[in-house]
Structure 1
Amino acid sequence: MKLRYSFGGDEHLFVECSEEMSLEAFFHTLSITNRVRDAKIRGVTEICPANASFQIKFDPDIIHPDDMLKEVQAIELADQKSEPVIKTRIIEIPVYYNDPWTHETLMRFRERHQDPESTDLEYAARINDYKSVADFIDAHSGAPWIVTMVGFVSGLPFMYQMVERQRQIEVPKYLRPRTDTPKLTVGYGGCFSCIYSVRGAGGYQMFGITPMPIYDPTQTTSYLKDFMVFFKPGDIVKFKPIDRETYDAEVKAVEEGTFAPPIREVSFDLNEFNKDIDGYNAKLEGILNDH
């Protein structure tokens, strides 16, 4: 995989691993940025991995841009010899699909949508050739997702489903963005799912909502006391469909400080995954469910 390097002004090095999203491109991105972090290169102030690229911010008064480029190119050469394996987490995220709050919102903005006569879920199911919304929800929640990038707004994760390319769900964004999206909406745009960390404008299709906060600048949420942002690149997510009763109970548990998302430490091997995708995903889910 040939990398393309360019500078962004005097303080940024931008590196493109691929022009299209793939797990291979993401793994290359994550592996190199992890190595850059571990190398503790003098002058580096920020490392930002993305879906198939990354950017490094540095202080040009401490390290010359050309020297920064040489450092990262040397890390790239070393990384080519490594196995595509990462230590990460698998996390279960509850989702109340087809909830009343995102439904009310999407109905307010139908004139901005490709199909004003249907809901976002109905539209997504139809264009992806699923017979029903229930079948579509089964597909969306049936295989795990990997967090490839966190950002755009604070704490928002972009997630890519871990299935073969021909099984990828694809749904375009709204024709014109909405001016409102409920906090913790599970959205979809292109090949990426996301969770809106805060309420605000947005253009992704809205499928449901999670009771689980993923961003808390006050750090009063029980599982966000150490860091205000829950997700990090490389996290593996398994969505769990829930009903209204469970949603209400888990919102209450969050408020009382007793909610704890199921999390397991895992080692993810991309080569083994590609040999048997469904079998490997089943093993990951088994680890998650092994209490």
Structure 2
Amino acid sequence: MKTRYSFGGDEHIFVEVDEEMSLDAFFKSLSMTNAVRESQIRGVTEVCPANASFQVKFDPDVIHPDDMLKEIQSLEAAAEKADSVIKTRIVEIPVYYQDPWTHETLMRFRERHQDPNSTDIEYAASINGYGSVDDFIKAHSGSPWFVSMVGFVAGLPFLYQMVDRPRQIEVPKYLRPRTDTPKLTVGYGGCFSCIYSVRGAGGYQMFGVTPMPIYDPQQEISYLREFMCFFNPGDIVKWKPINRDEYDAAVEDVDAGRFMPRMADVTFDLEKFNADNDGYNAKLEEALNGH
């Protein structure tokens, strides 16, 4: 992987670890951002990680941009050799696929879509070679997903499918963004799935909704009282398809303060995952199921 460094005005350095997203690129980016924080480089005011890149904001009155660049570059070699093992968690996220709310929304914006004669999930199934929407849902929910970044909108996770590249789902964004997306929509754009933490504009394909809030600035929801954003980079997600009755019951539990996401603490080892994707995923799911 060839790392590319560029300046963003006088106060930012953007570091692109790789042009393509991969877990290897994510882990190198993670190692470098951790190293920047731990090194306590003079003048650094903020470190902002992304999927396979990161940005460092600094005070040019404290450190010259060229000196900041040298400081960050000096950390790259060690980051490449860093141990690709992290302590994290796997979380089950219920999804009501083909729900009525995203369906109503996507039908309002068909003129902005690649295929106005199909739904978003029908289009995604077709271009990825699946014989039916049910087959597509099985593929989308069948393997875990890695949270590579949280942001763009507060609390919104970007999720990367944990399968070998030939099996990764790829779906382009809308031709023109929508002006509306229901809150908690499970979306898809490029190689990333996401959950819209709030209602708003968006361009990702809409597959369904989750009843599980992931962002609560008031911190009133039972599992969001300590921190308003649920996800962290490095979290692992397993989608669980649910029907309308299960969705309604989960919403009722959230409102009553009874809902608690199913999750388990795990250690993720990138080398072991790369050696056997499916076998390693099965062990992660065993941890979630308490085996």
Task: Verify same fold: TM over 0.5.
Answer: yes
Structure 2 distance, partners of 1:182, 1:272, is 38
- Tell me by how many angstroms 1:184 deviates: 0.3
In the alignment, what sits opposite 1:6? 6
Corresponding position: 1:28 with 2:39: no
Deviation of 1:148 after TM superposition, in Å, equals 1.2
Q: What is the 5 A alignment of 1:41-52? A: 41-52=41-52
Tell whether the 8 Å contact from 1:186 to 1:209 is kept in structure 2 after alignment: yes
The structure 1 segments of at least 4 consecutive aligned residues displaced by more than 3 Å after TM superposition are: none
* Distance in 2, Cα, partners of 1:102 & 1:66: 48
2-side partners of 1:81 and 1:115: how far apart?
45
Q: Give matches, 1:188-227, under 5 Å.
A: 188-227=188-227
| Cα distance between partner residues in 2 of 1:11 and 1:138 | 46
The residue that corresponds to 1:127 in the other structure is 127
**In structure 2, distance between residues paired with 1:220 and 1:206:** 27
Matches within 5 A, 1:1-291: 1-290=1-290
TM-score normalised by the chain length of structure 2: 0.96
Give the gaps of 5 or more residues in structure 1: none
Instruction: State the alpha-carbon separation in 2 of the partners of residues 289 and 75 from structure 1.
Output: 39
| Conserved? CA contact 1:30–1:233, under 8 Å | no
| Amino-acid identity (%) | 76
CA shift for structure 1 position 71: 2.4
1:79-122 Cα distance to aligned partner (Å, 9 max, x none): 22222222222111111111111111111111111111111111
1:182-239 CA-to-partner distances (Å, cap 9, x unmatched) read 0000000111101001101111110000011111111111111122111121111111
Partners in 1 of 2:228 and 2:274 — Cα distance?
34
* Worse overlay, 14-23 or 83-92: 83-92
Cα RMSD (Å) = 1.4
* Structure 2: tracts of 5 or more residues without a match: none
Cα distance in 1, alignment partners of residues 154 and 140 from structure 2: 24
1:170 touches 1:191 (CA, 8 Å); kept in 2? yes
Question: Residues of 2 paired with 1:217 and 1:39: CA distance?
Answer: 32
Q: Which residue type is aligned with residue 120 of structure 2? A: D
Q: Number of matched residues? A: 291
The TM-score with structure 1 as length reference comes to 0.96
SS of the equivalent of 1:68 reads: helix
CA contact (8 A) 1:30 1:234 kept: no
Q: Which moved more, 1:29-38 or 1:160-169?
A: 29-38
Indicate if the aligned counterparts of 1:86 and 1:269 stay in contact, CA closer than 8 A.
Answer: yes
